[in-house]
């Protein structure tokens, strides 16, 4: 993988900064997951609830499948809980801190759907709402949205073009989270960098993969119109702790750490 000069220069700066102390509560270590099966010691499958009135589907274990090197999260018209639709989500059982977060995924398509790779911690874990996001909105899969929440405050969205479309094939999404910056990458290229301390999360977080829909957030996600089952597919997800060894060829962490 050949990186542009701008990306190479940033990676050199990050490496020179050296390792920083992990956040309090960060108990997860480096891993690479290629989904030959679902490792339930690592992953918790969301099942039987939704995240609020804005979500038109219920998390369902039946919407999560892992086999043959691929995780599939589905959205389908199947009654679940108090919703007409069922959708899939997995989250790590452990919390992770500074390091490189990477996923290779193919998004779902369709207005009102959201294919997401993100880290999150919040009130259910007795912590402030901190979050770092990659989200593909099914209304326009030519772009991916990156964003951060700090103590529940968002408003840091940036849309990045995905050549060929996020739903037409697999793309590599990554963010490098350090104490003084977050750098976002698409297919190995730096696409966004945040250095303002007011926009940098500080709390260790769990890692999530999810596919969900909405009937109400149409200004953001598009007007929902069910056109048949939809799927989000993931071939690999990895976390490399800051300063840790590179874990696979092509990893952004190979150059950062």
Instruction: List, in order of start, the domains of the chain with CATH numbers.
Output: 32-256 (2.60.120.200)
Query: Residues of the chain with pLDDT > 70: what percent?
Result: 91
pTM higher than the cut 0.85:
yes
- 22 — pLDDT class (breaks 50, 70, 90): low
- 18 — pLDDT class (breaks 50, 70, 90): very low
Per-residue DSSP letter, 225: -
Q: pLDDT tens digits for 154-209?
A: 999 999 999 999 999 999 999 999 999 999 999 999 999 999 999 999 999 999 99
CA distances from 228 to 9, 60, 66, 225, 243 (A): 45, 17, 21, 9, 44
Q: Establish whether 135 is a catalytic residue.
A: yes
Q: pLDDT tens digits for 47-102?
A: 999 999 999 999 999 999 999 999 999 999 999 999 999 999 999 999 999 999 99
Q: Please tell me which residue in 89, 102, 135, 233 is annotated as part of the active site.
A: 135
Q: pLDDT tens digits for 4-13?
A: 544 444 444 4
Distance CA(214)–CA(212), nearest Å, equals 7
Q: pLDDT tens digits for 134-147?
A: 999 999 999 999 99
Per-residue DSSP letter, 7: H
Going by their DSSP bridges, the two strands 143-149 and 171-178 should be labelled as unpaired
Q: Please tell me which residue in 33, 102, 131, 242 is annotated as part of the active site.
A: 131
Q: Report whether pLDDT(19) > 70.
A: no
Q: pLDDT tens digits for 201-243?
A: 999 999 999 999 999 999 999 999 999 999 999 999 999 999 9
Q: Establish whether 33 is a catalytic residue.
A: no
CA distances from 167 to 31, 59, 224, 230 (A): 26, 22, 17, 11
């Amino acid at each position: 993988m050949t990186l542009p000069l701008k990306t190479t220069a940033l990676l050199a700066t990050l490496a020179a900064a050296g390792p920083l102390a992990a956040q309090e509560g960060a108990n997860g270590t480096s891993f690479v997951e290629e989904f030959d099966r679902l490792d339930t010691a690592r992953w918790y499958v969301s099942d039987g609830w939704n995240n609020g009135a804005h979500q038109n589907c219920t998390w369902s274990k039946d919407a999560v499948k892992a086999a043959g090197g691929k995780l599939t999260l589905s959205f389908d018209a199947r009654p679940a809980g108090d919703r007409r639709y069922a959708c899939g989500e997995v989250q790590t059982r452990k919390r992770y801190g500074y390091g490189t977060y990477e996923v290779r995924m193919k998004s779902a398509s369709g207005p009102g759907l959201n294919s997401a790779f993100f880290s999150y911690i919040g009130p259910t874990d007795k912590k402030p709402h901190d979050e770092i996001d990659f989200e593909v909105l099914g209304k326009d899969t030519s772009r991916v949205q990156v964003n951060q929440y700090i103590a529940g405050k968002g408003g840091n969205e940036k849309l990045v073009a995905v050549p060929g479309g996020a739903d037409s094939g697999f793309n590599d999404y990554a963010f490098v989270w350090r104490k003084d910056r977050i750098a976002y990458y698409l297919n190995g290229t730096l696409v966004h960098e945040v250095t303002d301390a007011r926009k940098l999360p500080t709390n260790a977080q769990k890692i999530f993969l999810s596919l969900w829909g909405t009937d109400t957030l149409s200004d953001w996600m598009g007007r929902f119109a069910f056109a048949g089952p939809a799927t989000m597919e993931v071939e690999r997800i990895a976390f490399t702790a800051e300063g840790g060894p590179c874990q696979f060829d092509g990893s952004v962490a190979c150059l950062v750490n």
